Homo-oligomer: A and B are copies of this chain.
Amino acid sequence: MNTSQRLDVTFAALADPTRRAILARLASGEASVMELARPFAMSQPAISKHLKVLERAGLIARGQDAQRRPRRLEARPLAEVTGWLVGYRRFWEGSFQRLDALLDEMKTPEKKRARKKR
């Protein structure tokens, strides 16, 4: 897949509230399919179908444990979508006052940018 095709499948995967909720859950750590299914009052097959879409987009991957086969969140597609959005920064940047706070938050990541002390 090229970048455009990856954006296609990533955006499509993100266009669903259950799949976004699964990602939100995985943002706080690995989880098995059973653990993922629990809060959604959904059958495991229904969840598995959503997981397949997320996996195809590279948004999740299988963790180490061969027994539990936990899923974990993968950064790359989120980074690519972010990269795409940066191209439209001048549009979204000025549109809301609350984005000011949001951008300030973006500008001061916890780690990493210690070299840029103000």
* A-to-B contact residues, CB < 8 Å: 4, 7-12, 14-17, 20, 23-24, 27, 73-76, 78-79, 81-96, 99, 102-103, 105-107, 109-110, 112, 116, 118
Contact A27 B81 (CB under 8 A): no
Would A93 and B76 be within 8 Å (CB), given that A8-B15, A14-B11 are in contact? no
Q: What is the distance, in angstroms, from A17's C-beta to the closest C-beta of chain B?
A: 5
Partner of A81, one of B85, B87, B112, B116: B85
Would A106 and B91 be within 8 Å (CB), given that A11-B11, A96-B79 are in contact? no
Known contacts A93-B109, A116-B118; 20 further A-B pairs (Cβ under 8 A): A8-B16, A8-B17, A9-B15, A10-B15, A11-B12, A24-B87, A75-B92, A75-B94, A76-B95, A78-B88, A79-B99, A81-B81, A81-B92, A82-B102, A83-B102, A86-B102, A89-B106, A93-B112, A94-B112, A107-B107
